Amino acid sequence: MSTQLIRSFAEIRKALLNKQELALIDVREEAPFAEAHPLFAANIPLSKLELEVYSRIPRFDTPVTVYDNGEGLAQVAAERLRGLGYVNVRLLEGGLDGWHRAGGELFIDVNVPSKAFGELVESQRHTPSLAAEEVQALLDNEADVVVLDARRFDEYQTMSIPTGISVPGAELVLRARELAPDPATRIIVNCAGRTRSIIGTQSLINSGIANPVSALRNGTIGWTLAGQTLQHGQSRRFAPTSEEHRHIAARDARRVADKALVGRATLADLQRWQQESTRSTYLFDVRTPEEFENGHLPTARSTPGGQLVQETDHFASVRGARLVLVDDDGVRANMSASWLSQLGWEVHVLDDLQPAHFSEKCPWQAPVPAPQQAEEISVETLVDWLTHGDSVVLDFTSSANYVKRHIPGAWWALRGQLCEALDNVPPAQRYVLTCGSSQLARLAVADVEALTGKPVFLLKGGTASWIAAQQPLEEGESHLASPRIDRYRRPYEGTDNPREALQAYLDWEFGLVAQLARDATHGFFVI
């Protein structure tokens, strides 16, 4: 292969150390990505590349390097990216194995930069924590304590610590005084594992709150391993914050952000940056999704601050890019920015916003290519065709959605493994493609036509239209044409994980600081 079409480990390492913009993209599905990848690799699977890449890599001349592990996906991805307008696309020399052979460190799991950083914070700041047994004893003795859960609300609802209140990470400094107005009240912050507990606890400590604060050591994993009972389906959420507490929190958050070297920006700065052709700028609204829906800045994307810090690679896939954060209270943007700056990002907070600027009401829409042509059919037509038994439905939704409910007889397939999937599907006179909305399925029409030589149609409105028409549904793994590798099952997800997997996950997290040292490209610092 021409050296002009590849990029070496040494080139990428040099760019990382020099804080130059780059996008290192793993185009495999999430499960194999989680088995091994470089620290700053972002996962954009080939199967949904067109639907995600414009928002995640906004500048067409960004140096983009794609790789796989020998599956043949990277070459296809590079060609698609060039077709989408990207002009500086290369393959990683030797793929994943080449990275490792060249001396590159490989990491497992997902959102590794934030998790490794959390461990670094705890090791340097000695973030206080309490074991599950100690917290249980406090609750049993009805001590003056509040438990604040720093995860997303849906994660909290799945499983939570008894008495726990949902306060997603970026909300903690803004809401804690309202929930624990007595400075003597002990605050305990938890998540599922370690990272968001550590970052949440350290956020409150950094802000100078008077209350004693501790992380629940090892989160709900530690709680489970201690043999203690979790609650399910809870709905306790933070209350509105008084103006007095908001003012105090804003002052404290700005002080923390200044210490972390967070930049200050105006709307004029933002507009100038968004027109630059040599830098990538992301605009993130770090308030709650509900607040975003009530009004936001044009072009801003809703990324609640705690999740942005946890999953930065998913939202901003160009390492070295500029991040601009927005809120309407001076707390959540500053606290989120303080962590992102320590994570090595150039990050700024918009300081001159007025209520009138939050004028946009429409939901954020990911930019996508112009839709490809496809012949659409109605639900009624599909019902008729299925009755005659000469049609096959291919469903390209996520495997989790497929298992939950799908059109009876539909085969689930990964678009990135279409050829292999079709080998597992009975031949038909015609094929009908669907997914939740048919947006992703539309991208597969031409390929299915080319591979089968048969007529291919798109279900108008996707499976959502089938459901709206109150047609029968099927559930379970009834017809899998592809392996369920589109999502990595986190060891801390759900309520049925084996103890060995939970302990192995904690052991892995404990080892991340040593891995960071071996990698030596992270650029993290801890205030």
Is-contact 310 339, C-beta < 8 A?
no
Residue 2 pLDDT greater than 70, yes or no:
no
Instruction: Tell me the average pLDDT across 422-441.
Output: 96
Is 126 in the same domain as 107?
no
Phi and psi at residue 42, in whole multiples of 5°?
A: -110, 140
The pair of three-digit structure tokens given for residue 186, joined into one six-digit string: 């002990």
Does residue 34 lie in a domain region?
yes
Is 97 in the same domain as 138?
no
pLDDT at residue 492, as a whole number: 73
**How far is 279 from 410, CA to CA, in rounded Å?**
44
Is 37 in the same domain as 126?
no
Sequence-separated (6 or more) residues with CB below 8 Å from residue 48:
415, 440
CATH number at 431 reads 3.40.250.10
Is-contact 201 190, C-beta < 8 A?
no
Return the DSSP state at 127: -
Is-contact 445 374, C-beta < 8 A?
yes
Does residue 225 lie in a domain region?
yes
Q: In this structure, is the dihedral angle defined by the CA atoms of residues 212, 216, 217 and 223, taken in order, positive or negative?
A: positive
Instruction: Tell me the average pLDDT across 91-118.
Output: 96
pLDDT at residue 494, as a whole number: 62
Strands 456-459 and 430-434: parallel
Phi and psi at residue 217, in whole multiples of 5°?
A: -60, 120
Average pLDDT, the chain: 95
The pair of three-digit structure tokens given for residue 135, joined into one six-digit string: 């917290």
Does residue 499 lie in a domain region?
no
Is 310 in the same domain as 233?
no
Does residue 136 lie in a domain region?
yes
Provide the percentage of residues in the chain whose pLDDT is more than 70. Answer: 98
pLDDT at residue 289, as a whole number: 95
**How far is 18 from 38, CA to CA, in rounded Å?**
17
Is 318 in the same domain as 416?
no
Q: How far apart are the first and last CA of the chain?
A: 45
The total number of structural domains in the chain stands at: 4
Cα–Cα nearest to 44, from 400, 437, 317: 317
Does residue 128 lie in a domain region?
yes
**How far is 421 from 280, CA to CA, in rounded Å?**
37
pLDDT at residue 504, as a whole number: 84
What is the Cα 20 distance to its own chain's centre? 23
Q: For the ranges 406-420, 444-458, 493-507, which has the lowest average pLDDT?
A: 493-507
Q: Can you tell me which residue has the tokens 């507490």?
A: 245
Is 196 in the same domain as 96?
no
pLDDT at residue 3, as a whole number: 53
Query: Rounded to two decimals, what is the model's pTM?
Result: 0.94
Domain final position from 356, 384, 400 = 356
DSSP 126-186: ---EE-HHHHHHHHHTT-SEEEEE-S-HHHHHHSB-TT-EE--GGGHHHHHHHH--STTSE
Is 224 in the same domain as 297?
no
pLDDT at residue 506, as a whole number: 86
Domain final position from 356, 387, 411 = 356
Is-contact 270 253, C-beta < 8 A?
no
Does residue 506 lie in a domain region?
no
pLDDT, tens digit, for every residue of 309-320? 999 999 999 999
Sequence-separated (6 or more) residues with CB below 8 Å from residue 70:
95, 96, 97
Q: Can you tell me which residue has the tokens 């994993």?
A: 221
Cα–Cα nearest to 65, from 16, 101, 29, 117: 16
Confidence band of 201 (pLDDT split at 50, 70, 90): very high
How many Cα atoms are found within 13 Å in the side-chain-facing hemisphere of 194?
A: 28
pLDDT, tens digit, for every residue of 54-77? 999 999 999 999 999 999 999 999
Q: Can you tell me which residue has the tokens 């008077």?
A: 210
Instruction: Tell me the average pLDDT across 285-291.
Output: 96
pLDDT at residue 207, as a whole number: 98
**Residue 175 sits in which domain range?**
122-238
pLDDT, tens digit, for every residue of 160-186? 999 999 999 999 999 999 999 999 999
Kindly give the interhelix angle for 112-125 and 499-510, rounded to the nearest 10 degrees. Answer: 70
Is-contact 141 208, C-beta < 8 A?
no
Instruction: Tell me the average pLDDT across 34-48.
Output: 97
Domain final position from 428, 443, 468 = 468
